[in-house]
Structure 1
């Protein structure tokens, strides 16, 4: 009889303060409307069967069995099945943690495919079983299974699980984001947002950047540019009209900002998009 003993080498991993908020196994049966939405927590979405698309505000990803998607807090998203191939998936809500690439400082959405689908599916099914059949130690078992899941994702995708700060601040930042999404065409300053949240101006700007990777004004300009691109491609409004419709104080400033972001003028963007009819342009 052969016998070989293995020793573990301890890994210096920061304690995870992740907490399981919810878990569900769902199937798309066309009984609800797929619309963009957000959560105040991190969402982990794992496809068991079917095929479809995972949509964010400005991008779409094809998904299939074995695909896992991580959505940071307050990022707009939804999923849609391909006709005849309804998505069946696990979805869990996790508080206190999100993920970022090792070489970046902001949390991002993560896409990965596990060829060994059962590796992840088994963890999730055990978590669901414990939640459905709550008994002695179920919460501890779920917590340990969640930490195993997080570590497997981190190992597979070379991302770092990072702690998220207080829910209170997250909600304040979400309120700012929602306000900017709706009122981007209006004249907005940091003072406007300070009055909205009753927070110190500089603390508010720093906190918003921590959660979104952008300052409030950078995010505002991004929303204005996205709206401008839609008007340039879908309407025949003049450049001046487009500029004022999305909140710029002057056409010249709008043209300057547009060229800085996209490398071409609004007029050239409209012309190129009309010629190609296509998705080559933002």
Structure 2
């Protein structure tokens, strides 16, 4: 008789911390005329496994090509969308995973190509899809365990580092996303509903976490950015106060003047006089 016996070590460095990464969703998609390619974000990580065709991913500031056997991991709060090549329709399976992030540059996104382990990962993904479609009792547990198997395969890739994302760090990223959006659009008429939809969180939760992070509300931060910009316009241009108020998106001159005095302690015209005389 021949046999093989192996000891399973408990100190394997690849083992993920328990009760952290959690499967939220799984979906399959292939390019069609109804493909929605608008930039969007999620409050959880997304893992895209390209199983066929070719396409590209568009982030806020860059775009890159993808093909079969590519993996793209998008961290929570990162603006992105998927695009397909019409001659080679892209097909992918995507996992939504909570409490997980990939070590990435400032883009919050990592692309990796599978040279080994791809077939095993895809088998797990298709089994997850089958479990969800059938909806048999216990399918949630099977999908969660299959996620853990997939993550272990990913940890074997030399260029991937996965970590657990704590709840406060996710809130911080959501607030950072909103803050950066305000920085880019502070002249526009932004609403709490619009900002909360951007971060995919409740608007009351947004106000609470944003105030905790930056000691101000999102709308107050927007006003402070407008006043900051107005200081530059008051000193470096000859625009009158009504023009500056209109440029910065204030609904009226009086609202601009009240906001400026509240934050700066003096009127806009007095600020212009003081700083122009100091510059001479």
TM-score tier, shorter chain, comes to 0.5 to 0.7
1:163 aligns with 165
- Return the match for 1:63 from 53, 63, 66: 66
User: Is residue 23–residue 97 contact of structure 2 (8 Å, CA) maintained in 1?
Assistant: yes
C-alpha distance in structure 2 between counterparts of 1:51 and 1:181, whole Å: 32
1:231 aligns with none
TM-score (norm 1): 0.61
What do the CA deviations read for 1:111-156 (whole angstroms, capped 9, x no partner)?
1111343222111111111111111221110000011111211221
- How many residue pairs get matched? 204
When the two chains are superposed, the root-mean-square deviation of aligned CA atoms in Å is 3.6
1:109 aligns with 109
Distance of aligned partners of 1:143 and 1:24 in 2 relative to their CA distance in 1, 3 Å threshold: same
User: Is residue 20–residue 164 contact of structure 2 (8 Å, CA) maintained in 1?
Assistant: no
1:148 aligns with 149
C-alpha distance in structure 2 between counterparts of 1:16 and 1:52, whole Å: 34
- Return the match for 2:75 from 72, 77, 81: 72
2:44 aligns with 41
1:204 matched to 2:213? The reply is yes
User: Is residue 42–residue 93 contact of structure 1 (8 Å, CA) maintained in 2?
Assistant: yes
C-alpha distance in structure 1 between counterparts of 2:131 and 2:209, whole Å: 41
Q: Secondary structure at the match of 1:163?
A: coil
1:24 aligns with 27
CA apart distance, 1:79: 1.4
CA apart distance, 1:60: 1.6
Q: Which runs of 5+ in 2 are unaligned?
A: 190-205, 216-220, 230-236, 238-243, 249-280
Q: Secondary structure at the match of 2:156?
A: helix
What do the CA deviations read for 1:185-234 (whole angstroms, capped 9, x no partner)?
99xxxxxxxxx835686x5149xxxxxxxxx9xxx9xxx9xxxxxxxxxx
Structure number with larger C-alpha Rg:
2
CA apart distance, 1:16: 4.4
C-alpha distance in structure 2 between counterparts of 1:198 and 1:26, whole Å: 36
Trace 1:1-282 onto structure 2 (pairs within 5 A): 1-10=1-10, 11=12, 13=15, 14-100=17-103, 108-116=108-116, 117-156=118-157, 157-166=159-168, 171-183=174-186, 197=207, 203-205=212-214
C-alpha distance in structure 2 between counterparts of 1:146 and 1:184, whole Å: 43
Q: Secondary structure at the match of 2:87?
A: coil
C-alpha distance in structure 2 between counterparts of 1:9 and 1:36, whole Å: 44
Q: Which runs of 5+ in 1 are unaligned?
A: 187-195, 207-215, 225-239, 247-282
Distance of aligned partners of 1:97 and 1:174 in 2 relative to their CA distance in 1, 3 Å threshold: same
1:256 aligns with none
